[in-house]
Amino acid sequence: MRSSEYPFWPQNFVNLYRETDCWRGETFGSMLRERAGKQGKRIAVTDGEKSVSYAELDRRADCLAAGFARLGLKKGDRAVVQLPNRIEFFEVIFALFRLGALPVFALPSHRESEIQYFCRFTEAVLYVIPDCYAEFDYRTLAKAVQPNTPALRQVIVAGSSGGFTALSELYDDPVVPEAEVNPDDVAFLQLSGGSTGLSKLIPRTHDDYIYSLRASNEICRMNQDSVYLAALPVAHNYPLSSPGALGTLYAGGRVVLAAGGSPDETFPLIAQEGVTITALVPPLALIWLEAAASRREDLSSLKVLQVGGAKFSEQAARRIKSVFGCTLQQVFGMAEGLVNYTRLDDPEETIVSTQGKPMSPFDEIRVVDENDEDVGPGEVGELLTRGPYTIRGYYKAEEHNAKTFTTDGFYRTGDLVSMTAAGYIVVEGRAKDQINRGGEKIAAEEVENHLLAHDAVHDAAVVSVPDEFLGERSCAFVIPRRRVPSAGELKRFLRERGIAGYKIPDRIEFIQSFPYTPLGKVSKKELRQMAARITKVSTAASI
Ligand code: J2J
């Protein structure tokens, strides 16, 4: 599976990462098999009343691999997987790994527009969904998507099938010979936050991802006794791998699945299951901080509370230790690779005021100005990185890759950062055209394109507005054509086009013309300032 579709590390780096023991030649299939052999009876994943042991998970993945093979799935095929935090998620992905087929990790919040694009772009042959989740019927979504996705052979439903194929009918006797899966094969496609239009797809190999699990586990001190609570949607890179659910399984620990991240859903689980570590985004951490005072659950098993995905305010960070009696760990990562952690034994000041340092000694970091020149110590610049688990290019995106990666293979993160003298990273802002809404990433251009499809919209520009709770919200500036539509009408229009709810602008402002930069580009900087002013005024007015 080595082709321009899946850009790969040059041979000298491959040699380096192998020689230095980063890449050890493991696959997800072999990893689960080994754990099942060594500690088969231990619980791997718990979901409410249901639990599955390592041996059961291993066997059920084999059964499902046989069922998928019966449907004609083979090595290299893509399968869009859109499952919430349920045991089936793990059975499905390990079955796919066993066959060498590639899960494409959609999120439960994705809708027709995103799913159709993932299915079409990857020519996926399977689409795996729950029946209903969070008051949404995914079978309706599948029905809308299927006619426009010619390669899609099967929709598979975990739950009541509604005319599609039921996942429960695919657990065959595991008689298929296992496909030959190589550690340097691409294991799955993760999603980028996106900045230019639609999400890019991120090819991660067994070798590189498993290395990131191993390095994360060491830093987070994961072992057989670790109990990881998946409070965020587990398909996302952060709860999947930093160290997340897969790191926990690699360590032989136990993954406890929560349906959502609210204190009502999670606090009882922490107490009952003896959760030792969990991962939150900043808005959820704020809710937890707020709730802790009035709750009675015993949260004393919790040793590490990770917060990442968006910048966590220093003020809130300072409260974590005293409120929860555990260690805060800031996590600054990206599905493209690089993950930074504060270390568990770092001084409190480092933990509350930085976003950590790279997890691997083989991560290479540069902080550069607009001319790709390194900035001085402590100065702000764009973060570039390459290393043993950072991709060298997106899937099928040659043109975009030429812009997003330097000629010597560094990934341009689009994040503006400074480095402390001790080598810790402080996230200072963003150069990419993206809104980070409490950890959920919105590519401005994607939403702008949807707005432009409305016949009363002449032009549109989407920017971020600071928000105390989410960090940022989104604001769309729209130049109307002929008549001025209402904000409600435009939001409804976007919803009907089938985009994930978090991408619908929080605010829509109508404007006669955009401010421009001296180079003639729409000045998003000025628009951001305008949006912040408008929001301030309207907030003041409503107090
Ligand atoms: C500021 N910005 C942050 C932080 C991510 C671990 C943790 C997070 C992600 C993730 C991940 C931030 N402070 N602590 O994949 O494995 C912003 C940056 C970054 C982008 C990546 C993981 N943590 N960010 O959030 O691919 O802008 O991954 O480039 O979704 O989120 O987003 P994503």
Distance 472 CA to ligand 1 centre (A): 14
Question: Which residue out of 234, 311, 334 has the highest number of ligand 1 atoms within 8 Å of its CB and is therefore the one to mutate?
Answer: 334
Is 0.85 topped by the overall pTM?
yes
Residues 6 or more apart whose Cβ sits within 8 Å of residue 243: 213, 216, 217, 220, 222, 228, 250, 251
pLDDT for 261 beyond 80: yes
**Whether the predicted pLDDT of 3 surpasses 70:** no
Same fold, 25-38+54-205 and 437-542: no
User: In 468-517, which ranges are E strands?
Assistant: 471-480, 507-510
Tokens of 71: 């449907």
Task: Report the distance separating Cα 153 and Cα 146, nearest Å.
Answer: 9
Atom number of ligand 1 nearest to Cα 432: 27
Collect all residues with Cβ–Cβ distance below 8 Å to 180 and sequence separation of at least 6: 75, 100
The residue behind tokens 């009035």 is 294
Residue 308, ligand 1, Cβ within 6 A: yes
**Gap from CA of 413 to ligand 1 centroid (Å):** 10
Whether the pLDDT of residue 53 is over 90: the answer is yes
The atom of ligand 1 lying closest to the CA of 241 is 16
Name 350's Cβ contacts closer than 8 Å, sequence gap at least 6: 342, 420, 422, 424
Helix (H, G, I), strand (E, B) or coil at 177: coil
pLDDT in tens, 79-130: 999 999 999 999 999 999 999 999 999 999 999 999 999 999 999 999 999 9
Q: Does ligand 1 lie within 6 Å of residue 238's CB atom?
A: yes
Instruction: Give the residue carrying structure tokens 């790279």.
Output: 358
Each residue of 56-93: pLDDT tens digit?
999 999 999 999 999 999 999 999 999 999 999 999 99
Architecture in CATH for domain 25-38+54-205: 3-Layer(aba) Sandwich (3.40)
**Amino acid, single-letter form, for residue 2:** R
Alpha-carbon dihedral sign for residues 52, 53, 54, 58: negative
Ligand 1 centre distance from Cα of residue 115 (Å) = 22
What was the pLDDT predicted at 519? Answer: 85
Q: Is the dihedral of CA 203, 43, 29, 102 positive or negative?
A: negative
Q: What's the CA dihedral at 456, 460, 464, 466 to 10 degrees?
A: -50
Q: Cα of 355 to ligand 1 centre, how many Å?
A: 10
Greatest Cα pair distance in the chain: 70
Beta strand 136-137 with 132-133: parallel, antiparallel or unpaired?
Answer: antiparallel
All residues at 6 or more sequence positions from 162 whose CB lies less than 8 Å from its CB, including other chains = 131, 139
Q: What is the pLDDT of residue 197?
A: 79
Residue 389: the pLDDT is 98
Instruction: Determine which residue's CA is closest to atom 32 belonging to ligand 1.
Output: 334
- Using CA positions, which residue lies closest to atom 5 of ligand 1? 309
Q: Which pLDDT belongs to residue 176?
A: 67
**pLDDT band with cut points at 50, 70 and 90 for residue 408:** very high
Name the E strands within 91-200.
102-105, 126-130, 132-133, 136-137, 154-158, 165-166, 186-191
- How far is the C-alpha of 142 from the C-alpha of 499, rounded, in Å? 14
- Which of 189, 199, 238, 437 maximizes ligand 1 atoms within 8 Å of its Cβ, making it the mutation to test the pocket? 238
Question: How many whole angstroms separate alpha carbon 327 and alpha carbon 16?
Answer: 34
What is the mean pLDDT of the segment spanning 194-215? 93
Neighbour tally for 520: CB within 10 Å: 7
For residues 351 and 330, give the distance between their C-alpha atoms in angstroms, rounded to a whole number. Answer: 7
Amino acid 541: pLDDT: 67
Question: What digits encode the pLDDT tens for the residues 287-331?
Answer: 999 999 899 999 999 999 999 999 999 999 999 999 999 999 999
Domain boundaries, the chain: 25-38+54-205, 437-542
Residue 334 has pLDDT above 70, yes or no: yes
What mean pLDDT is predicted for residues 505-526? 94
Q: What is the mean pLDDT of residues 153-164?
A: 97
Q: What is the DSSP string of 194-205?
A: -SSSSPPEEEEE
CA neighbor of 32 nearest in space, from 51, 52, 47? 52
Nearest atom (ligand 1) to Cα of 414: 29
- Degrees, nearest 5: CA angle 95-40-270: 90
Give residue 80's pLDDT: 98
Q: Is 60 exceeded by the pLDDT of residue 213?
A: yes
Q: Is 335 in the pocket of ligand 1 (CB under 6 A)?
A: yes
Q: Which residues contact 542 (CB under 8 A, 6 or more apart)?
A: none
Of 187-201, 274-288, 439-453, 488-502, which gets the smallest average pLDDT? 187-201
Q: What angle do CA 284, 332, 466 make, to 5 degrees?
A: 55
Is the confidence at residue 540, as pLDDT, over 80? no
For residue 331, how far is its CA from the centre of ligand 1 (angstroms)?
A: 8
Q: Does 334 contact ligand 1 (Cβ within 6 A)?
A: yes
Mean pLDDT value across the chain: 96
What is the amino acid identity at position 374?
A: D
Worst-scoring range by mean pLDDT, 179-183, 348-352, 527-531? 179-183
- Per-residue confidence (pLDDT) for residue 348, from 0 to 100: 98
- Residue 466 forms beta bridges with which residues? 472
User: How high is the pLDDT of residue 535?
Assistant: 84
The per-residue DSSP string of 304-362 comes to EEEEESSPPPHHHHHHHHHHHSSEEEEEEEETTEEEEE--TTS-HHHHHH---EES-TT
CA-nearest residue, atom 16 of ligand 1: 238
What's the gap in Å between 308 CA and the centre of ligand 1? 6
* Tokens of residue 379, six digits: 């100065």
| Region 437-542: CATH code | 3.30.300.30
Report whether residue 442 contacts ligand 1, using a CB cutoff of 6 Å. no
How far is the centre of ligand 1, averaged over its atoms, from the C-alpha of 539 (Å)? 29
Strand partners, 459: 479
3-state class of 413 per DSSP? strand
Phi-psi sector, 438: left (phi>0), alpha (psi -120 to 50), beta:
left
- In the chain, the percentage of residues whose pLDDT exceeds 70 is 98
Q: Is the pLDDT of residue 205 over 90?
A: yes
Residues 189, 122 contacting (CB under 8 angstroms): yes
What's the pLDDT score for residue 104?
98
Distance 237 CA to ligand 1 centre (A): 9
| H or E segment to which residue 492 belongs | helix 487-496
Is the minimum distance from the CB of 191 to ligand 1 under 6 angstroms? no
If DSSP codes are grouped into helix, strand and coil, which group holds residue 61? Answer: helix
How many Cα atoms within 13 Å fall on the side-chain side of residue 333? Answer: 31
Atom of ligand 1 nearest to the CA of 244: 16
Q: What is the DSSP letter of 256?
A: E
Is pLDDT of 141 > 90? yes
